[in-house]
Amino acid sequence: MSSPALKAGASGKVTDFNNGTYLVRFTLFWEGQVSLSLLLIHPSEGVPALWRARNQGYDKIIFKGKFVNGTSQVITECGLTLNSSSELCTYLYGRDQEAFYCTKPQHMPCEALTHVCTMNRRISYLSVKEKSLFHKSKVGVEMMKDLKYIDVSHCNTYSITQLKRNSNHKKINTLMHKYYIRAISIRKAIERLFLRSPDTKVIVKTENIREMHLETERFGDFHGYIQYLTLNDIFKDLNVGVIDAWDMTIAYASNNLHPPDVVIGSQINMFLSYIC
């Protein structure tokens, strides 16, 4: 929902009834003329294909480690998991037992690792027919056309800034993925921080949406949305502030890995509202 003249926008909430029908709700945050836009990002057949491809393996991204010893430099393969019979360097974060691995170069110590970079591996787990589901013409399809503007009348408005509060610990359903393991470790670290310093302010920023038509299997917003939901679930019971960059970029329809300055400005303003 947007009002370009006011430079205002807001996202809606979608309820899936699991029978082919959906309910979309928009909260009317301001008065005046508003327009609605509803996009179908992926057809239902595409989602399980992306889910399967996502969990097929970690080899879509290649990690390379640079080892430097004097004037000698060696580049080796690194990763969160390595299927290699070669000797490995294991970089372990002790408390949470999170590990990162690199193939150990000959005649160099593991401590000689100075840089890590990533590259995309040209690999796909989608069939030809599945790839056709993510053709540009089938991603982000406008569902409501020729919809007239809606005039929102004046009403009694209010504003709430809310920090999420601690409550009884609830079960966190996560998937076996390094992202989720890392997020849970961060939650545990925050809990330890609050035990030492209960008045500490912690602000969590979610990821944002990105380009719709850029390598959907690897970078599609479906993956980001799953991570967004999981992050919200992991941190929902903690007394932390949340900068909902996902919601903000949907409202602005930025569709860019690096949102425009006006969106970044809104995120900074929300951050300042938590600490000032």
Tokens 């928009």 belong to: 26
Q: What is the pLDDT of residue 155?
A: 57
**Model pTM?**
0.76
Q: Which CATH architecture has domain 164-276?
A: 3-Layer(aba) Sandwich (3.40)
Per-residue pLDDT, averaged over 141-169, amounts to 51
Q: How confident is the model at residue 6 (pLDDT cuts 50, 70, 90)?
A: confident
Residue 123 in tokens: 């690999």
Exposure string of 236-257, with b = 16+ CB inside 10 Å and e = fewer, is: ebbbbbbbbbbbbbbbbebbee
**Domain limits of the chain?**
1-41+139-159, 61-120, 164-276
Q: What is the pLDDT of residue 20?
A: 80
Q: What is the pLDDT of residues 173-187, one digit of tens each?
A: 223 467 788 889 999
Q: Using the Cα atoms of residue 243, residue 246, residue 247 and residue 253 in order, give the sign of their dihedral.
A: positive
Whether the pLDDT of residue 159 is over 50: the answer is: no
Whether the pLDDT of residue 49 is over 50: the answer is: yes
Q: What is the pLDDT of residue 160?
A: 32
Residue 145 in tokens: 């056309």
E strand segments, the chain: 2-3, 8-9, 13-16, 22-25, 32-34, 39-40, 61-69, 72-79, 88-93, 98-103, 113-120, 141-142, 150-152, 203-205, 241-243
Q: How confident is the model at residue 163 (pLDDT cuts 50, 70, 90)?
A: very low
Q: What percent of the chain has pLDDT over 70?
A: 86
3-state SS, residue 260: coil
3-state SS, residue 271: helix
Check if the beta carbon of residue 67 is closer than 8 Å to that of residue 105.
Answer: yes
Most confident of 38-42, 112-116, 157-161, 258-262: 112-116
Greater confidence (164 vs 68) lies with 68
Q: What is the pLDDT of residue 179?
A: 79
Per-residue pLDDT, averaged over 121-144, amounts to 83
